[in-house]
Structure 1
């Protein structure tokens, strides 16, 4: 997903966690996109072409595209961190963002909660994946905001409020969809449930999430279907009925249109993974 902050777009490409391991190292590498590291525990070294920097708790290191870096963990105090590879689209005429290496106030507990939400772990409730992505993008924005040209003239970010939580209307819409995706709710139904107009809801999704309401509904339906195919023995008939398709054939046609594979092909390739 992508979030637009009045012209500055952030989209997560990949994310992960490095747990403390005294033997952990990563060979010199670079990315086509930006990569940010939140150091949560231990100490380590980050080797760059122009020298070496230390990694320790409370530090943020942002590598701009194509910056080569290699990392090593201290054996007596193993390094722990979270990393995110993301795409950053700046308004025309803005300079690319340079490297960031600086102390930054963040909570390792918040990061753990965000990553668990993104992976559907924990008790955050149905639909926590998208909210986790939104919270992570908000953390990245807070790091970048003071470094971006003209950032001080930008209005406050809209997807999340000042307490780091999703804006109420968007949160309610997302949660409603994720609680009722099985019956393929319409834009009109979701708008009524959120006490907003269809037009306002549609514009919010396009502006803040870079997708239509229906695209998100189908995303959640596909996520459910693919999860069932990968991790359960439910028949295609059962899954189709749960998603309220009129026939297995219609379900298979819909699934292939979104995933480029039939449900049977998908299960054969991914079951148990």
Structure 2
């Protein structure tokens, strides 16, 4: 596969497919990745799911200190809060996507089942189940790399099917009605309230002391919840949400970048640019420009 096809797939999906939903389930997508040669990365963790498919190559995947072999056709899941690492001497051709469930727009059944992947899901999908996801990955990539313009509606339907195939391939509980062990815990309810508060107040200075007071718990307790449940500090989580909100405005509005920085709670446009670039690998102005150019090209074709 030519390198430019990977670049095109990365650009189009990251710019145009950042949220997928139907009447039962909704996903917020953090980023897409198509990499022709992935070698080693550092030991790290996320506050969200990251699911990878090995198109070609071999290597190892470490999850919570346990190593799993990687080879052609392997589908594997990096769970929120779990330390993990990918290693390969020859390099892997990888397709991957990072996402979280928008529980405010998702049925309890689907929320429960995706949460169950965190505690009792499979790290590596069985070959016959991985093959279902693999075929959808390949179809999405083929559609994107085609010289003909890709239908956004078609890609969105394929992406939704891809995400549901993850549940099919990685869940150890085939019955969608089975309850998750932690769905009614106080920790889950407190974290959900904290996340809602953050989402509603991104334009304001967000201090852990204020939110913990709102919840009636100590700052230390709330800090531990973010670390244990999301594998991430409070500050880093807020930063991620600010960037995702800014990304949405950059894609869907003509609001000035300095005003977007202010609306998403950044102290200055310079700090906003630095954080945004670090998270997404492209500066806000360039990110918007690529989207704007793509939109103008579509208008000329119609």
TM-score (norm 2): 0.44
Q: Which has the higher helix share?
A: 2
Larger Rg: 1
Q: Which has the higher strand share?
A: 1
TM-score (norm 1): 0.48
